[in-house]
């Protein structure tokens, strides 16, 4: 507060902006501390002394600081010769002029308003702010007066808004005809219902690989989508030779607008002329806006979009950047309220409850006043009923925010009915998910699908000439740390992918010693039987290319610390390995887990040396720092990465074809040397064709299983639990000790060999 007072005295708007943001952060953290004081009288006194003055100052500065930031943005655009874009930014200031404090309350406002006029003149427009109109600070929860009725002609009646929503479709285009039916049925009952898409239309199936979003877009246009925000996968192709051309083509062909308040497209020339840095009441199809205003039954509804900042790490956005979602959401609410809009929808792709340190819908709802509805995506969350947030970040009561999300892959059409009072406050709501599998296919959509499905089917059914006896699994642990996962354990498929990468990279650079593949990029299991092209593409659907990279031994160790950081939980950046072996200790603290890294040097394994430089291969996404690999990002910036431009799925196909036999067990390339690994009983056993090998000590609870078979344990084996019947063994080999002291029940020791001691 003292720093703000000094900046006001100095008439230093740059410092005021800086301290305003600092104050906003402190209000959240310090108020939470004040609420820990016991005794209502003492707590109220402290809140009155410290929180209330700070909150009043923040609210007084909210609109002026917004204007200041817009003026700076416009001035920068003018300096870059972008006069038309600067004018659009300045025009968005006009609705804010009636929200500024009086000059007597904030004398330094005069300098800011003078600057508005000067910059506006340079942009060739006239903006004449009213510096004398006193104003109340923006209200929270959309509570400004001015809402009309359900029919738009009676201030005493409530307004009812209906929304349909989908998210994370991921090019599951086959399901579109049934989704179209569900949409048409809802519109029959509620013709004014909005249809919103929360992102991640791109990537995931052959429909995307072949048609780059255009197939899905035809159905979106058919369904008359009202608005879409961008998911992280919309930015998957940024590192390809064509950059984001597919996304730009998708936007241009859309018959609806896009909303995106925290994404900056300005540095990517492909998006020139497509994005607008203001809210529009008359949005054009195929354009991007921070937010739009839709008129529904005579009422104004504001819609703005947010995309997860994780995109910078988990996709390939290139020059596109992402800003703070909380600050941008607050700006959007202020801008809508300045336009007289008191019913506000956030269309987000930030996840429902994941990664709160980065962004999610629950944090958004509690930290930003004025958002009435959040239509979410990214976390693939199935919210059968809407979630209601009615407390802010410090536990104080706030107007309701209703949160919805509709799982994934067009499996559901979400519906939400919200009733607002005349002040724009949510008073009633009802939401549900409609299962699309229960619907018949829409005839028009089914006919439209044929022109795409025939091509996809042709590709899917093309056999590569390799037959699997056993499936190549891509397991996930579903939140159970004892279960295996492609995002934390070595897998046969991960080994095959990296083997193919290493073999291909060596054709271009014989110095390549190892290859890595991020587990999050391995998407599907290949089932037993004859392998098709379609199955291979589904394993690696993101269109990545092969790259080589020069790293020191110390940097390699740093990278594997990142790979192991989330254990025993999953990590999309978990690295599968070819050409080397990595040992780690999961019992150690994060950042101290790597025990050793060796690489195959001729016919022996040699330890990596910290100060020596090595050449490795990986996909371009990982090489550029994806999945938070800052050590790789630095190498990329330093010019130590070479993108060979070779398709990842084609490399895998070629490698599978080259093999006489497909491996049926892992090889111990990535080994945890910690004391004991807990394995779920149902995941422990192998098969006679594909026995399992465990490189370390293993513990298994056999309460719900009667037989263990086809396993080699190269450490100690411990069995625990109370089995329902006798436990038997077949083809079990334990190279360490066998501990049965924690098991209570009958056991048949035939079928197991133990090198060490057996404890009963």
User: 159-451: which CATH topology?
Assistant: Purple Acid Phosphatase; chain A, domain 2 (3.60.21)
210: tokens are 């072949």
Among residues 394, 390, 327, the alpha carbon closest in space to that of 27 is found at 394
Q: Give the pLDDT confidence of 629-638 residue by residue, as tens digits.
A: 999 999 988 8
CA–CA separation, 325 and 368 (whole Å) = 10
**Mean pLDDT score across all residues of the chain:** 89
Answer whether 696's CB lies under 8 Å from 674's CB.
Answer: yes
Residues 528-537: what's their mean pLDDT?
A: 93
Distances (CA, A) of 177 to 182, 184, 405, 448: 9, 11, 21, 9
Domain positions in the chain:
2-122, 159-451, 463-671, 677-759
**Paired sense of beta strands 344-349 and 299-307, if any:** parallel
pLDDT tens by residue, 49-108: 777 788 788 778 888 888 888 888 888 888 888 888 888 888 877 777 667 787 778 888
Residue 542: strand, helix, or coil: coil
Q: pLDDT value at position 98?
A: 67
Question: Residue 147 — pLDDT band, cuts 50, 70, 90?
Answer: very low
303-358 pLDDT, tens digit per residue, is 999 999 989 877 889 999 999 999 999 999 999 999 999 999 999 999 998 778 88
Which region among 420-434, 507-521, 693-707 has the lowest average model confidence (pLDDT)? Answer: 693-707
State pLDDT tens for residues 507-520. Answer: 989 999 999 999 99
Distances (CA, A) of 443 to 225, 439, 447, 454, 667: 19, 12, 6, 17, 51
Q: Is 194 within 8 Å of 224 (Cβ atoms)?
A: no
Q: Is the pLDDT of residue 651 over 70?
A: yes
- pLDDT at position 133 is 41
Task: Please choose, from the candidates 208, 210, 233, 190, the residue with its C-alpha nearest in 3D space to the C-alpha of residue 413.
Answer: 190
**Residue 596 pLDDT > 60, yes or no?**
yes
Place of tokens 């800003």: 323
How far apart, in Å, are the Cα atoms of 157 and each of 109, 141, 153, 191, 571? 39, 19, 9, 20, 51
pLDDT above 70: residue 28? no
**Exposed, middle or buried: residue 730 (CB in 10 Å: 0-12, 13-18, 19+)?**
middle
Distance CA 327, CA 252 (A): 29
pLDDT of residue 42: 63
Rounded to whole angstroms, how far apart are CA atoms 568 and 570?
7
181 or 380, which is more confident? 181
CA-to-CA distance for 589 and 555, rounded, in angstroms? 19
Confidence of residue 40 (pLDDT cuts 50, 70, 90): low
Instruction: Place 127 in a pLDDT band, splitting at 50, 70 and 90.
Output: low
463-671 in CATH: which number? 3.90.780.10
pLDDT at 246: 97
Asked whether the domain spanning 463-671 has the same topology as the one spanning 159-451, the reply is no
């Amino acid at each position: 507060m003292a720093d703000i007072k000094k900046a006001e005295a100095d008439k230093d708007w740059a410092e005021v902006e800086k301290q305003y943001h600092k104050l906003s952060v402190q209000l959240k953290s310090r108020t939470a501390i004040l609420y820990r004081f016991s005794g209502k009288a003492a707590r109220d006194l402290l809140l009155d002394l410290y929180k209330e003055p700070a909150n009043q100052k923040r609210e007084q500065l909210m609109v002026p600081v917004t204007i200041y930031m817009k003026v700076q943005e416009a001035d920068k655009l003018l300096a870059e010769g972008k006069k038309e874009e600067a004018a659009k930014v300045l025009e968005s200031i006009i609705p804010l002029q009636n929200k500024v404090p009086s000059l007597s309350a904030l004398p330094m406002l005069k300098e800011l308003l003078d600057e508005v006029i000067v910059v506006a003149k340079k942009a060739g427009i006239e903006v004449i702010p009213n510096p004398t109109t006193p104003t109340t600070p923006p209200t929270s929860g959309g509570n400004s007066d001015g809402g009309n009725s359900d029919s738009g002609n009676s201030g005493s009646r409530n307004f009812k808004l209906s929304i349909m929503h989908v998210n994370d479709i991921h090019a599951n285009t086959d399901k579109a005809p049934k989704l179209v039916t569900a949409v048409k049925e809802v519109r029959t009952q509620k013709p004014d219902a909005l249809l919103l898409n929360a992102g991640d239309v791109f990537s995931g199936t052959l429909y995307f690989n072949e048609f780059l979003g255009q197939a899905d877009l035809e159905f979106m246009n058919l369904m008359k989508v009202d608005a879409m925000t961008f998911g992280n996968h919309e930015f998957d192709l940024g590192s390809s030779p064509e950059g984001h051309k597919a996304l730009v083509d998708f936007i241009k062909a859309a018959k609806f607008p896009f909303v995106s308040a925290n994404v900056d497209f300005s540095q990517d020339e492909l998006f020139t002329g497509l994005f607008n840095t203001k809210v529009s009441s008359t949005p054009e199809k195929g354009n991007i806006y921070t937010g739009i205003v839709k008129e529904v039954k005579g009422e104004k509804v504001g819609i703005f979009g947010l995309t997860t900042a994780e995109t910078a790490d988990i996709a390939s956005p290139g020059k596109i950047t992402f800003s703070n979602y909380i600050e941008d959401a607050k700006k959007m609410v202020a801008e809508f309220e300045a336009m007289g809009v008191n019913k506000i929808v956030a269309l987000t792709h930030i996840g429902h409850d994941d990664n709160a340190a980065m962004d999610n819908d629950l944090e958004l709802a509690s930290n930003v006043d004025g958002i009435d509805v959040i239509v979410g995506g990214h976390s693939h969350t199935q919210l059968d009923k809407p979630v209601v947030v009615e407390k802010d970040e410090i536990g104080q009561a706030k107007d309701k925010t209703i949160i919805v999300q509709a799982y994934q892959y067009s499996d559901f059409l979400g519906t939400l009915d919200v009733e607002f009072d005349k002040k724009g406050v949510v008073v009633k709501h009802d939401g549900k998910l409609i299962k699309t599998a229960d619907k018949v296919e829409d005839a028009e959509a089914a006919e439209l699908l044929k022109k795409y499905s025939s091509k996809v089917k042709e590709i899917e059914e093309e056999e590569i000439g390799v037959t699997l006896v056993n499936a190549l699994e891509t397991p996930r642990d579903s939140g159970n740390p004892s279960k295996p996962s492609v995002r934390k354990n070595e897998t046969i498929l991960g080994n095959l992918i990296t083997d193919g990468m290493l073999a291909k990279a060596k054709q271009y650079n014989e110095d390549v010693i190892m290859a890595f593949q991020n587990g999050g990029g391995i998407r599907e299991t290949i089932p037993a039987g004859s392998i098709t092209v379609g199955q291979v593409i589904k394993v690696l659907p993101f269109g990545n290319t092969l790259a080589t990279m020069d790293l020191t031994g110390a940097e390699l160790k740093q990278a594997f610390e990142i790979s192991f950081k989330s254990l025993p939980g999953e990590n999309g950046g978990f690295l599968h390995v070819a050409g080397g072996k990595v040992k780690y200790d999961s019992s150690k603290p994060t950042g101290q887990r790597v025990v050793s890294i060796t690489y195959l040097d001729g016919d022996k394994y040699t330890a990596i040396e910290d100060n020596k430089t090595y050449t490795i291969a990986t996909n371009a996404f990982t090489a550029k720092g994806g999945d938070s690999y800052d050590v790789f990002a630095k190498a990329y910036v330093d010019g130590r990465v070479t993108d060979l431009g070779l398709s990842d799925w084609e490399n895998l196909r070629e490698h599978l074809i080259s093999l006489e036999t497909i491996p049926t067990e892992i090889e111990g390339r990535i080994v945890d040397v910690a004391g004991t690994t807990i394995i779920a009983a149902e995941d422990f056993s192998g098969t006679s064709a594909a026995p399992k090998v465990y490189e370390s000590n293993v513990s298994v609870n056999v309460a719900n299983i009667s037989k263990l078979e086809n396993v080699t344990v190269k450490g100690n084996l411990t069995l625990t639990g109370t089995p329902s019947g006798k436990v038997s063994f077949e083809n079990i080999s334990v190279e360490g000790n066998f501990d049965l002291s924690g098991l209570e029940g009958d056991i048949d020791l035939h079928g197991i060999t133990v090198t060490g001691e057996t404890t009963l």
